[in-house]
Amino acid sequence: MGKQKTAKRLLASNILISLLGFLDALYLLYFDCFPEEIFCPIEGGAFQCAIVHESDYSKLFGVIPVSLLGTLFFIAVIILLFLSVSDRNPYWLGFFLPLAGLAGTGFSIYLTVIEIFVIKYYCEFCLFSALSTLAIFVLVIITKKMRQGSIFTNLEFWKMFKKSE
């Protein structure tokens, strides 16, 4: 199988992971919009979704639900992935997807560290979101290397606005 075909399959896998991450974030957003008791399949012991979900860290600046940020992140990644599959502009895969993946992974690591060391309880939906974000980032980097030969190509943001000759 050729590199381009493998790269398209990796992008398709990434779309599936992003859709699952979107559904996960949307589920958590539902409980931010409609204050009900959150259902967690692994409730008990260190897994206490309600405690994590109701903590001060579940809202950015005390106002914006982190689940809303996650939902918007996955929507943006899905759009960028579909644009990358078309392969019309190498900057979608070369610049914007790695940047989004890096930002999402960094924020997920921050929130996971908060869960572990500050809240001291875990939410399986939050952990799934963090793993989805990490998987997206890793697959984007692998796909970029396969399609563009290096992870350091097409990083010049302003060049994307120049007309090709």
Mean pLDDT confidence for 18-22: 97
CATH of domain 3-152: 1.20.1440.130
Reading the block at residue 86, the tokens are 């078309």
- Tally the residues of the chain: 165
Structure-model confidence comparison of residues 50 and 2, the more confident one:
50
CB burial of residue 35 (10 Å; 0-12, 13-18, 19+): exposed
**Banded model confidence at residue 90, pLDDT cuts 50, 70, 90:** low
Banded model confidence at residue 94, pLDDT cuts 50, 70, 90: confident
What residue segments make up the domains of the chain, in order of their start? 3-152
Report pLDDT digits (tens) over 21-77.
999 999 999 988 887 777 778 777 888 888 888 889 888 888 899 999 999 999 999
For position 83, what pLDDT does the model report?
Answer: 84
Specify the 3-state DSSP secondary structure of 9. helix
First to last CA, the chain: 31
pLDDT at 55: 87
d(CA 104, CA 147): 22
- Averaged pLDDT for residues 153-159: 58
Confidence of residue 82 (pLDDT cuts 50, 70, 90): confident
Q: Note the pLDDT of residue 157.
A: 57
Residue 165 has pLDDT above 90, yes or no: no
pTM value is: 0.86
